[in-house]
Amino acid sequence: MRILLVEDDLLIVDGLSRALRQRGHVVDALNRGEGVLDALREPVHDLLLLDLGLPDIDGLKVLTALRKRHASLPVLVLTARDAIESRVAGLNAGADDYLTKPFSIEELEARLRALARRSGRALKGQSRIGGLLLDLDQRHAELDGRPLALTPREYGVLEVLVQAEGRVVSKPALREALCNWDDDLSSSALDVHVHRLRRKVEPGSVEIRTVRGFGYLLRETSPEAASDEARP
């Protein structure tokens, strides 16, 4: 998922961003309410993680303005306000869920994934292609019944290609899905990640095909086709 995190505490921003990225998510961050609507002008984010205690604009006002323009974007509110009235006010303003600080990263990610599933912005369950099994809820991959060791970048590439359901994914679209605003993933670096992933999945009759001038396509290959291609 690509998440927009709006939080003024830089320590929290750094900690949450690192933890979520380690779990394969892409995180963009703002530390003020001003700019949130502009950041969401293009529909590239799957979810908004919004702190109510912002220094410039109250988070409830940001949320109310957001809902007038982005009715379907899932919003998880973070708040230090433990009063029931504050929670009710956040839900009434359009929040889908909330967490009171402090919280565990495990609970946060569970709530993020639940919101994404309910909104239809994330695939659920398992997806099998050839000998490859991808568990989208557990973020776990297996090849021919054995765990497949993937780096976070490699898993991200694989998840995007699986979500494409047999369609070609362009390099710009793949980089956008994998990178936050601060990342600089070059085309050649992306090629390296795809090459390494390709070598790991091909023994399971799975091909990552390079479509020249367009991008990449994930598909199953039959053992017969693979043996034919290996012949001189």
Query: ∠ CA 215-221-223 to the nearest 5 degrees?
Result: 150
The Cα-based distances of 65 to 8, 48, 95, 135 in angstroms read 19, 14, 12, 36
Highest-pLDDT range among 69-83, 157-171, 180-194, 218-232: 157-171
Q: How is the chain split into domains, by residue range?
A: 2-119, 126-230
With beta carbons less than 8 A apart as the criterion, state whether 80 and 53 touch. yes
Strand 75-79 relative to strand 97-100, pairing: parallel
With beta carbons less than 8 A apart as the criterion, state whether 2 and 49 touch. no
**DSSP helix/strand/coil, 14:** helix
Own/partner long-range contacts of 188-193 (Cβ < 8 Å, ≥24 apart):
190/157, 193/151, 193/153, 193/154, 193/157
39-43, 47-51, 209-213: which has the minimum mean pLDDT? 39-43
Residue carrying structure tokens 């991959």: 141
Q: What is the mean pLDDT of residues 52-78?
A: 88
pLDDT greater at residue 173 or residue 5: 5
Which class is domain 2-119?
alpha beta
How confident is the model over 98-141, as pLDDT tens digits?
Answer: 888 888 888 898 888 888 777 665 555 688 888 999 887 777 89
pTM: 0.64
What distance in Å separates the CA atoms of residue 162 and residue 167, rounded to the nearest whole number?
A: 9
Amino acid in the structure at residue 109: E
What is the band of 228 on the pLDDT scale with cuts at 50, 70, 90? very low
**Count of Cβ atoms closer than 10 Å to residue 35 Cβ:** 14
Looking at domain 126-230, its CATH architecture is: Orthogonal Bundle (1.10)
